[in-house]
Amino acid sequence: MQKLQFTKMQGAGNDFIVLDGIRQSFALTPAQIRWLADRQFGIGADQILLVERPSRAEADFKYRIFNADGGEVEHCGNGARCFVKFVHAVGLTHKRQICVEVQKGLITLTLQENGEVCVEMGAPLFEPAHVPFDASQIEPRAAGNDTMWPLELNGKRVWVSVLSMGNPHAVQQVEDVETAPVLRDGALIEAHPRFAQRVNAGFMQIIRRDLLKLRVYERGVGETLACGTGACAAAVTALRRGLVDSPVTVSMRGGQLTIIWEGAEIYMVGSAMIVFNGEIDLLDGLAPLSTRLNFN
Ligand SMILES: N[C@@H](CCC[C@H](N)C(=O)O)C(=O)O
């Protein structure tokens, strides 16, 4: 039986299993990823991060991101900060500025003197086709310099900004993020037929010009305690609507991030921590989940 070394990490309460794919050799099936991420039958995590050698000369590393449902995705803000702390902790590099390849492209990360990580997240894209979002036969509404689109959710209409942070986001403003129907509407938005690749659904409440509160129903996971790309998407939406100024603090249930955006690249600053290191026998993924599967 193959043993897999792993590190459990969290960034603002968004939790990860980080795997060193440079010094260990293994291949994971989607069923094994779902099992490892399972909170009862496996280790438990929102996402699994796989650190590999880069395929591009300009990059120091490549890291791949898998949601708890087993699907591979393009980008992960909280994961990026955990990745930097991980490669330092296990001695894969001593560089403080690291160029890393993710599915969405190259990103640069800096481990700051105070231990926080600054991530150059890339520039947001607003063209519906880039999200992708099917904007046919619906009329948008302007909100400052931003565009809101109507979405029908079981007879109810909500207005969302749609944007790509490399991964897809739909952000709506709510009166009170604590009472917003994040679980019900989040699930409907995530699977809405206008989003061909599904979407991360953000619910933001403006508190002050330098502070917003956010909850995110993540694609392939459900509600998480924090979402880094979601924090960027919400900050950009609020900035375009003229509701906040940069830098803005995004407060989520698991912690806070600082987002800086002057119209091009977005910078995200926050902490990341190792929770524990461990080792697990790599089972086929179906056996441990079979009890659960029998009830589906
Ligand atoms: N938690 C992440 C985002 C992870 C990917 C997301 N669920 C998706 O499917 O796009 C973050 O911190 O950005």
Q: What is the CATH number of the domain that holds 85?
A: 3.10.310.10
88 and 167 together in one domain: no
State whether 245 and 190 are in the same domain: yes
Give nearest CA residue, ligand 1 atom 4.
76
In terms of domains, do 134 and 247 share one?
A: yes
Same domain? For 18 and 140 the reply is no
Q: Indicate whether 283 and 174 sit together in one domain.
A: no
Q: What is the ipTM metric for this complex?
A: 0.99
Residue 104 is predicted with a pLDDT of: 83
Task: Answer yes or no: is the C-beta of 77 below 6 A from any ligand 1 atom.
Answer: yes
- 197 and 83, same structural domain? no
Shared domain for 102 and 50, answered yes or no, is yes
Same domain, 63 and 141: no
- Give the bridge partners for 162, in sequence order: 170
Q: Report the pLDDT value the prediction gives residue 71, as an integer from 0 to 100.
A: 98
- Report how far ligand 1's centroid is from the alpha carbon of 65 (Å): 8
Over residues 192-238, the pLDDT tens digits come to 999 999 999 999 999 999 999 999 999 999 999 999 999 999 999 99
Catalytic residue among 82, 118, 227, 232: 227
Please, what is the Cα angle at 177 between 174 and 183, to 5 degrees? Answer: 100
In testing the pocket of ligand 1, which one of 65, 195, 199, 218 has its CB within 8 Å of the most ligand atoms?
218
> Are both 9 and 41 inside the same structural domain?
yes
**Rounded-to-integer distance, Cα 277 and Cα 17, Å:** 10
> Of 33, 32, 43, which Cα lies nearest the Cα of 6?
43
- pLDDT per position in the chain (296 positions), as tens? 899 999 999 999 999 999 999 999 999 999 999 999 999 999 999 999 999 999 999 999 999 999 999 999 999 999 999 999 999 999 999 999 999 999 888 999 999 999 999 999 999 999 999 999 999 999 999 999 999 999 999 999 999 999 999 999 999 999 999 999 999 999 999 999 999 999 999 999 999 999 999 999 999 999 999 999 999 999 999 999 999 999 999 999 999 999 999 999 999 999 999 999 999 999 877 667 766 666 54
Domain of residue 32 covers 3-120+272-294
- Rounded CA-CA distance 36/59 in Å is 28
- Judge whether 227 counts as a catalytic residue: yes
**Is residue 76 annotated as a catalytic residue, yes or no?**
yes
Give yes or no: residues 145 and 192 share one domain.
yes
The rounded distance, in Å, linking the Cα atoms of 120 and 211 is: 20
Quick one: 204 and 242 in the same domain? Answer: yes
pTM: 0.96
| Torsion of Cα atoms, 229 then 233 then 234 then 240, to 10° | 150
Structurally, the chain folds into a number of domains equal to: 2
147 in the same domain as 111: no
DSSP, res 129: G
pLDDT for position 292: 66
